[in-house]
Amino acid sequence: MQNQKDPLHGITLQKIVETLVDYYGFDTLGELIPIKCFTSNPSVKSSLTFLRKTDWARKKVENLYIKILPKLS
């Protein structure tokens, strides 16, 4: 089975979060996905800790990343 159609294949959660922070900044990211790890004393490290434990939040972050992928190329 090939994963070429999966835009997240081979991309770490850390890379996703860092890309979104670079693209939006934590302020805008916290408005788009209002979760505490983006709105209250945000850091990539604390965000990763939360997102690794929280599937629904991770899905939102992954979906936002997929949405901006065309703009990144």
Indicate left, alpha or beta for 35 from its phi (over 0: left) and psi (-120 to 50: alpha). beta
Amino acid at 42: P
Q: Total structural domains in the chain?
A: 1
Give Rg (Cα) of the chain. 12
pTM above the 0.75 mark? yes
Q: How far is CA 64 from the centre of its chain?
A: 7
Residue 4 in this model has a pLDDT that exceeds 90: no
Q: Is residue 34 part of a domain?
A: yes
CATH number of the domain bearing residue 28: 1.10.720.30
**The pLDDT of residue 3:** 56
Amino acid at 52: R
In the block, tokens 């890309």 appear at: 19
Residue 71 in this model has a pLDDT that exceeds 60: yes
Q: What is the mean pLDDT of residues 38-51?
A: 97
